[in-house]
Amino acid sequence: MLPTESRSTLRKYFRQQRNALSNAQQQLASVQLLKQCKSLGIYQQAKTIACYLAQDGELSLTPLIEDAWHRGKDVCLPVLHPFAKGYLLFVRYHPNSTLQANRFGIPEPVINLPDIIPLEEVNLIFAPLVAFDEQSRRLGMGGGFYDRTLAPVLKNALETHICGVAHDCQKVETGLKSDRWDIPMQQIITPSKIYRAS
């Protein structure tokens, strides 16, 4: 894959790559990912973390979410904003949360106002992605949801830490082009390696 390929060609290719992993590979990857995260000070210290529920071959955060609950951390999930098109809300997720599928078929917690967690209160965000490169650049599903929602982290210099999460096979060896609205990831975590932004 060349960096000159269009974003849609890259998305198609890397979505196929991650969907080709077997259940056993997926399960192993999710456990290895937890191991990587446990070694990170930012994870150990975070009180509130934003995760996602894997779809379309994404690396599952289920073991990580269970570990976070076990350690008494608050976990939240992205929910498509009901009014502000293209934006996400982060909503608290606990073992008894009621989930409903959004328009992409991804389960998300039903919105109860007290469960909406303001971005300023989220210490660590695990962002799903379709492809990444050595410089921790991220290519997502194409909705611009994370870029829009996380723009205030840069603008207001929030302390929220943003980590991309991906399978090793989602790495673009030759690099990705970044656009002016792309939100930089502090690091990308895969089951075998942590890539830090330079």
Ligand X SMILES: Nc1ncnc2c1ncn2[C@@H]1O[C@H](COP(=O)(O)OP(=O)(O)OP(=O)(O)O)[C@@H](O)[C@H]1O
- Does 54 participate in binding ligand FFO (rule CB under 6 A)? yes
86: number of Cβ within 10 Å: 12
Retrieve residue 13's tokens: 């290719």
Q: Residue 2: is it exposed, middle or buried by C-beta count within 10 angstroms (0-12/13-18/19+)?
A: exposed
- Does 84 participate in binding ligand FFO (rule CB under 6 A)? no
How many Å apart are CA 154 and CA 164, to the nearest integer?
16
Between 92 and 148, name the residue whose CB sits nearer to ligand X. Answer: 148
Size of residue set near ligand X by CB under 6 A:
15
Of 89, 110, 172, nearest in space to 136 by CA: 172
- Does 6 participate in binding ligand X (rule CB under 6 A)? no
Binds ligand X (CB under 6 A): choice among 139, 165, 172, 189: 139
139 phi, psi to nearest 5 deg = -115, 125
- Find out whether 46 and 124 touch, Cβ atoms under 8 Å: yes
Retrieve residue 83's tokens: 């009014």
Binds ligand X (CB under 6 A): choice among 110, 143, 152, 174: 143
Decide which of ligand FFO, ligand X, none touches 148; Cβ closer than 5 to 8 Å per partner kind.
ligand X
- Does 176 participate in binding ligand X (rule CB under 6 A)? no
Could you tell me which residues are annotated as the binding site? 7-11, 53, 58, 138-146
Q: Which residues bind ligand X (CB under 6 A)?
A: 7, 139-148, 151, 179, 181-182
Q: Which residues bind ligand FFO (CB under 6 A)?
A: 52-55, 58, 78, 88, 104, 106, 128, 140-143, 145-146
Could you tell me which residues are annotated as the binding site for substrate? 53, 58
